[in-house]
Amino acid sequence: MKIGIILGTRPEIIKMSPIIRYCSMQGIGFFILHSGQHYSYNMDKVFFDELQLPEPSYNLETGSGDPGEQTARMIIGIEKVLLHENPDVILVQGDTNTVLAGAIAGVKTGTQIGHVEAGLRSFDRSMPEEINRILADHCSDYLFAPTKTAEQNLIHEGIPVGKIRVCGNTIVDAVYQNLQIAGKKRTVISSLHLHPGKYFVLTAHRQENVDDKQRILGIINGVREVYLQYGYPVIFPIHPRTRKQLELFRIPPPDGLLFTEPLGYLDFLLLEKESLLVLTDSGGLQEECCIMQVPCVTLRDNTERPETIEVGANILVGSDSRSIITGVRTMMNKARDWKNPFGDGKSGERIINSITSEA
């Protein structure tokens, strides 16, 4: 048995980390292919070191670019590796261009494909991620759905039930495992002169938010209102794309919004865990907050993680400043006693055991 693990962004590395660790523990043959979708491998090498993961065997160094051109370069590179390695199955995770490229390359080379986190749907086809995840699902032989809701989405689209396995979400495994690593040596809270439970966290990076002046202005104004009402700082580890757009639109940071450089994953995980509340447009952070019992306010009009809303861990507010402050008030008044809907932290084990049991 040989498994090819294809990834290209930091969220994919995080969510694949439990699968990589379990393969290593069980002595299962695997290789990691890094597409280099967002970062050069030299930058991501630190990330693999931080999470105590083996380095990728292949690095395509694709880099950024127009989506079609970027995806095409990845398909070419992944196909060459698959023809050389001839794995029994490849695993892709999520909804990025790397996932789409990996799925297409798998189909073209006759390699079986497993889609980790299959079946998520925002039902908004204007989002590139929605198209990527739909196409990857319909290319795949193994669809590892994190929840029953995701399973039903796949069934409604006509995917045979025999291909679907509800395994939970590997983000639960990752949070549990990586918090153990982080807690041993991280001092990010004190280094930023913060006190646990006395600050908010903001992240914003999605194209539909940061490339639209009115939306990003609404978010910044909403954050200002949060600071004025509660008096706690809002920590903003700012994405380079977001910083560039704020400068382009000439939007100054309001009082109480404290920019930091992007943080390492373990530092950010601790920052998130000890915060009062998180405001974000990230899908993964919605899940992490839900798992760690941290209230979440999502700066989007839809989400492919409806389970977080159903259990009371999250609320959708869009980008309107009044909706943001209303959403923050709502979540601040909620007890942190919701049930985690994403599983028990053994999803990586279930995924690999499912594949090997059928080999």
Residues serving a catalytic function are 205
What is the distance, to the nearest Å, from the Cα of residue 288 to the centroid of all Cα atoms in its chain?
9
Question: How buried is 263 (Cβ within 10 angstroms: 0-12 exposed, 13-18 middle, 19+ buried)?
Answer: middle
Tally of CB atoms within 10 A around 118: 28
Strands 2-7 and 89-93: parallel
Structure tokens at 197: 């439970």
Using DSSP, state whether 91 is helix, strand or coil: strand
Contact indicator for 132, 100 with CB cutoff of 8 Å:
yes
How far CA 165 is from CA of 5, 32, 60, 175, 242, in Å, comes to 18, 23, 30, 22, 37
Per-residue DSSP letter, 358 = T
Pick from 299, 209, 281: which is nearest to 249 by CA? 209
Contact indicator for 359, 30 with CB cutoff of 8 Å: no
Say if CB 109 and CB 139 are below 8 A apart. no
If 0-12 CB within 10 Å is exposed, 13-18 middle and 19+ buried, where does residue 98 land?
buried
For residue 3, which of 21, 20, 25 has the smallest C-alpha distance? 20
CA distance 4 to 81: 10
- Distance CA(19)–CA(49), nearest Å, equals 16
d(CA 358, CA 285): 33
Q: Tokens 């679907």 map to which residue?
A: 164
For the record, the structure tokens of 244 come out as 């560039």
